[in-house]
Amino acid sequence: MGASAYESERAEERREERKTVRQVGDLVDRGLADRSEREVLERVAERFSVAITPDLVDLVTPGDPADPIGLQFLPSKRELRILPEERVDPIGDDPHTPVKGITHRYPDRLLLKPVHVCPAYCRFCFRREKVGPGSEVLSSDELAAALAYVRRHEQVWEVILSGGDPLILPPRKLAEITRAIAAIDHVKVLRVHTRVPVMDPGRITAELVEALRGRTTAWIVLHTNHPRELSPRAREAIARLVDAGIPLLSQTVLLRGVNDDAKTLEALFRELVVLRVKPYYLHHGDLAVGTGHFRTSIEDGQAIARTLRRELSGIAQPTYVLDIPGGYGKVPIGPSYLGPEGEDGRRVVEDPAGREHVYPPRGGDGR
C-alpha cells in the first residue's frame, strides 16, 4: 500500500471513530458493551433509543461497569425491568398539551418542544418513550400553531425550549424560532434546556450563539450530572455562551451509582460555579419506564442535600425537587430545619452542623 493510500485509509478510520455510535454491535466492537450481552442489549435498543457521541465516548472507561459516563449513556439489561409504579409519561406532559409541541403546566411559562431528537440518549430520560431517531420534528404548520398559542396567552412571560434537545437544530432554524418568540411582546424570557455543551460541544458555534441572542432575555439551563462531563471541550463551549452574555444555570438528576454521594455533587457544583454556571435544580429521579436502578430514596437525597448545605457556598446550592407524577408540578423536597411553633411562640431550628437552637432566643438583649 502506498503512503497516500495508507493516509487516506487512516483518515477514513478516524472519521468512523468520530461518528456517533448508535448500534449495539458497534458498542461491542469498541469495547463499550459486553459481547455476551449483545442479544439482550439489542432488545433494550428496540424499545429505547441508543446514541453516544464521540465526545462522550472519549470520557468512558471501557470495561468499567461503574463508570459514571457509561452508566448514563450505555444501554443496560436492567432497563428491561419495568416496575409497577413506572410511567410512560412520568411527569404528566400529555394532560397539559393543548397544542402539539406545547406543554403548558404553569400559568406564566410553558414548554415549546420543536424537536424530539438528542445528540445522545440518557438511559434515565423521562421522555425516553418519545425521543429518538424517527421522532417527530414540528412541521412549519405545527410550529406556527404552537407560536400562535403563545401569542393568544398573554400571561405567558417565559418560553422554555425543550424536547429533545433544541440546540441540535441548525442555527438558522433555531434563529427563526427565537426571532418569532422575540416578536411576541408579552414573552420577556427565553429559557433553553440542553445537554449539547457536554454531549456535543462542537455544536456551540458562533452562529448558534448568535441565534440565541436577541430582544428577549435568553437563559441556558445546562443538564450535567458528573464532574467528568466537564471536559476541556465542554468548558470551552460553556465559556462561549457565557462570554456572549448568556447566563447559565444547571440542572442535575440524582442518580444511583453516578452521583448519589455528596462529594461527587460538591465537586460538580463547585466546578460549575467556577465556570460561571449557577446550580439550579437537583432532581429526584422520575418514574420513567425501566429506570428503577437509577432512583435513590428521598431520604437518601435529603441526607445528601443536608451535607451540601453544610459544606457548600450558597451560590453553589441547587434546590432538591420532585416532579409530582401526573403533571402536578415540581416541589422542593429538601430537608427541613425548622420545628413546629410551640405554645410560647418559639421554635427549634437546626443549624447546618446539626445543632438545635431556640428561635427567638430566650433572654435576648432587647430593652
Burial class (CB in 10 A: 0-12, 13-18, 19+), 245: exposed
What is the distance between the terminal CA atoms of the chain, rounded to a whole angstrom?
Answer: 96
Asked if residues 164 and 152 have their Cβ atoms less than 8 Å apart, the reply is no
C-alpha cell at 280: 439550579
Asked if residues 32 and 21 have their Cβ atoms less than 8 Å apart, the reply is yes
Whether 330 is a known active-site residue: answer yes
Query: Among the options 330, 337, 346, 347, which is catalytic?
Result: 330
Whether 213 is a known active-site residue: answer no
| Sheet containing 277-283, strands listed edge to edge, beginning at the edge strand earlier in sequence | 102-106, 109-112, 158-161, 189-194, 217-223, 248-253, 277-283, 319-324, 329-332
Whether 260 is a known active-site residue: answer no
Query: Among the options 122, 123, 203, 260, which is catalytic?
Result: 122
Query: Among the options 22, 100, 106, 215, which is catalytic?
Result: 106
Query: Among the options 286, 295, 306, 320, which is catalytic?
Result: 286
Instruction: Tell how strand 329-332 and strand 319-324 pair up.
Output: antiparallel
Whether 215 is a known active-site residue: answer no
Measure the CA dihedral 156/162/163/169, to 10°: 110
Whether 94 is a known active-site residue: answer no
Query: Among the options 67, 93, 113, 118, which is catalytic?
Result: 118
Whether 64 is a known active-site residue: answer no
Asked if residues 130 and 103 have their Cβ atoms less than 8 Å apart, the reply is no
Query: Among the options 105, 128, 130, 295, which is catalytic?
Result: 105
Asked if residues 281 and 309 have their Cβ atoms less than 8 Å apart, the reply is no
Whether 77 is a known active-site residue: answer no
Whether 105 is a known active-site residue: answer yes
Whether 121 is a known active-site residue: answer no
Helix axes 262-274, 298-311, angle to 10 degrees: 50
3-state secondary structure of 105: strand
Whether 55 is a known active-site residue: answer no
Query: Among the options 22, 47, 87, 109, which is catalytic?
Result: 109
Residue written as grid cell 448545605: 309
Helix axes 140-152, 171-182, angle to 10 degrees: 20
Query: Among the options 127, 128, 295, 306, which is catalytic?
Result: 127
Catalytic center residues: 105-106, 109, 118, 122, 125, 127, 286, 323, 330
